[in-house]
């Protein structure tokens, strides 16, 4: 059992510059594309966290060479993928969903498993799609076994990706290596987090893969080679949001350097969200700076495209001066935990007034008190607790180590950010 981590409450504005490590989403896509390429690749400024280390370890187990290079880069040399192999997915959706379509190109038996919480995360959409494309798979969720033959016929498949955009990205990333490529059609409620699919498409095109996304809810990947590439990973904008939220919550000022002027990362939406809540936001060549208002205002917003920002937005909404309605995020019930239930439970446990709706949360700000904030092995739940603790003395997070999933040293970064603020 880990000891609860006491959050730090502050009585003065937080003022800091916070460099943020690389994007998990881009790093893991770059690793997978490099493993499928016809030549070596270099990944500069990669995120080195639990999720990306799990991706690298899974690919190494399949025969891909991933070595440390200059300035912390990863140098990737692809090779024929093969089994037998046992892959640990941890709690990483990008590993448990992106790797099986690539591992289907290997010869031999590949066994997938992960953390206990990962065994209840939805996997049937990807596994059923692989079966429809000619892959033999035993099992419906973790743990499962993939029986590789060295090639995949490919073709057309229809999926319901309303639970996660990862279901589409998983099939697109490896589709060029299938004999007939792959065409993925979505049939269901709107796909959440579409920026992540746009990221996948852009990265595929960057390595020479032909992708046709001109038809709504349909993506066509032509068969063909995948080029090696020199990737340079952007800062993780979603992981930056708790630090920007510190400025918003304390009337402070926080700058995240190297914020890209153009990006496919969903986390970039935090700029507009914070402005709607009363913050000053400025983007320049030097980075993104957020100035917090005297009082945060509530927000009525559809977060369907950027659901990963919900814990940060919910924490700020609980500290605002008026009610908030967060909508379009029913799919968050299938993330690392049921994030809607978890946020409602934890905020209400501190004296809050939060109601779950069919597809979101209604948050009515009331005075909160200290207590134990449960992370549910969910990195974004843990960082939400840290945000609440800035304004509410006596809050402790039960498992801050779970932030290692995407941020290698969140407690150290958080403490460094607060060094100039007066703590309660």
How far from chain centre, in Å, is Cα 302?
A: 18
Nearest to 308 by CA among 420, 181, 405, 180: 405
Written as tens digits, the pLDDT of the chain (424 aa) is 579 999 999 999 999 999 999 999 999 999 999 999 999 999 999 999 999 999 999 999 999 999 999 999 999 999 999 999 999 999 999 999 999 999 999 999 999 999 999 999 999 999 999 999 999 999 999 999 999 999 999 999 999 999 999 999 999 999 999 999 999 999 989 999 999 999 999 999 999 999 999 999 999 999 999 999 999 999 999 999 999 999 999 999 999 999 999 999 999 999 999 999 999 999 999 999 999 999 999 999 999 999 999 999 999 999 999 999 999 999 999 878 899 999 999 999 999 999 999 999 999 999 999 999 999 999 999 999 999 999 999 999 999 999 999 999 999 999 999 998 999 8
Beta bridge partners of 137: 146
End-to-end CA distance of the chain: give it in Å, rounded. 27
Instruction: Check whether 24 is labelled as a binding-site residue.
Output: yes
Q: Read off the CATH number of the domain in which 283 is found.
A: 3.65.10.10
184 and 298 both lie in a single domain: no
Instruction: Check whether 188 is labelled as a binding-site residue.
Output: no
Nearest to 165 by CA among 237, 213, 93: 93
- The domain total for the chain is 2
100 and 63 both lie in a single domain: yes
From 191, 221, 251, give the residue that closes a domain: 221
Q: Is 73 within the bounds of a domain? A: yes
From 158, 187, 221, give the residue that closes a domain: 221
From 221, 253, 277, give the residue that closes a domain: 221
Q: How far apart are CA 147 and CA 145, in angstroms?
A: 6
Instruction: Check whether 61 is labelled as a binding-site residue.
Output: no
β-pair type (395-397, 371-373): parallel
Non-local (6+) Cβ contacts of 224 within 8 A are 176, 181, 208, 209, 210
Q: Which domain holds residue 137?
A: 24-221
Instruction: Check whether 97 is labelled as a binding-site residue.
Output: no
Instruction: Check whether 238 is labelled as a binding-site residue.
Output: no
13 and 90 both lie in a single domain: no
Q: Is 411 within the bounds of a domain? A: yes
Instruction: Check whether 25 is labelled as a binding-site residue.
Output: yes
Instruction: Check whether 335 is labelled as a binding-site residue.
Output: yes
88 and 15 both lie in a single domain: no
105 and 200 both lie in a single domain: yes
Nearest to 260 by CA among 279, 287, 227, 240: 287
| Coil, helix or strand at residue 299 | coil
Answer yes or no: 308 catalytic: yes
Using alpha carbons, list the distances in angstroms from residue 168 to 48, 59, 346, 351, 392: 25, 20, 32, 40, 40
Please identify which of the residues 234, 253, 305, 308 carries the catalytic annotation. Answer: 308
10 and 86 both lie in a single domain: no
Instruction: Check whether 162 is labelled as a binding-site residue.
Output: no
């Amino acid at each position: 059992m880990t000891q609860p981590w006491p959050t730090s409450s502050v009585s003065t504005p937080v003022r800091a510059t916070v460099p943020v490590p690389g994007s998990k989403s881009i790093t893991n896509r770059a690793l997978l594309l490099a493993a499928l390429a016809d030549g070596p690749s270099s990944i500069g400024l990669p995120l080195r966290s639990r999720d990306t280390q799990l991706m690298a370890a899974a690919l190494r187990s399949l025969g891909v060479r991933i070595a440390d290079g200059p300035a912390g880069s990863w140098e990737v040399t692809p090779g024929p993928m093969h089994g037998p192999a046992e892959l640990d997915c941890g709690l990483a959706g990008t590993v448990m969903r992106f790797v099986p379509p690539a591992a289907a190109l290997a010869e031999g038996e590949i066994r997938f498993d992960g953390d206990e919480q990962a065994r209840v995360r939805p996997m049937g959409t990807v596994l059923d799609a692989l079966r429809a494309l000619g892959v033999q798979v035993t099992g419906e969720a973790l743990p499962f076994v993939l029986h590789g033959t060295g090639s995949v016929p490919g073709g057309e498949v229809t999926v319901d990706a309303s639970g996660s955009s990862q279901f589409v990205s998983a099939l697109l990333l490896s589709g060029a290596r299938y004999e007939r490529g792959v065409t993925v059609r979505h049939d269901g409620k709107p796909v959440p987090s579409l920026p992540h699919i746009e990221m996948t498409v852009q990265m595929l095109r960057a390595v020479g893969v032909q992708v046709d996304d001109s038809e709504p809810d349909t993506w066509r990947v032509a068969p063909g080679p995948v080029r090696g590439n020199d990737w340079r990973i952007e800062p993780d904008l979603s992981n930056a949001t708790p630090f920007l939220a510190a400025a918003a919550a304390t009337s402070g000022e926080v700058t995240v350097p190297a914020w890209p002027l153009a990006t496919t990362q969903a986390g970039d939406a935090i700029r507009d969200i914070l402005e709607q809540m009363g913050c000053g936001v400025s983007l320049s060549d030097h980075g993104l700076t957020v100035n917090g208002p005297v009082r945060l205002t509530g927000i009525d917003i559809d977060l369907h495209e950027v659901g990963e920002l919900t814990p940060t937005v919910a924490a700020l909404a609980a500290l605002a001066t008026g009610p908030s309605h967060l909508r379009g995020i029913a799919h968050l019930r299938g993330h690392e935990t049921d994030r809607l239930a978890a946020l409602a439970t934890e905020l209400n446990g501190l004296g809050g007034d939060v109601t779950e709706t069919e597809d979101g949360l209604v948050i009515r700000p009331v005075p909160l008190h200290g207590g134990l904030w449960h992370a549910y092995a969910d990195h974004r739940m843990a960082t939400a607790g840290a945000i609440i603790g800035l304004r509410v003395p006596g809050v402790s997070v039960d498992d801050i180590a779970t932030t290692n999933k995407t941020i290698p040293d969140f407690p150290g970064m958080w403490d460094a950010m607060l060094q100039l603020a007066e703590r309660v």
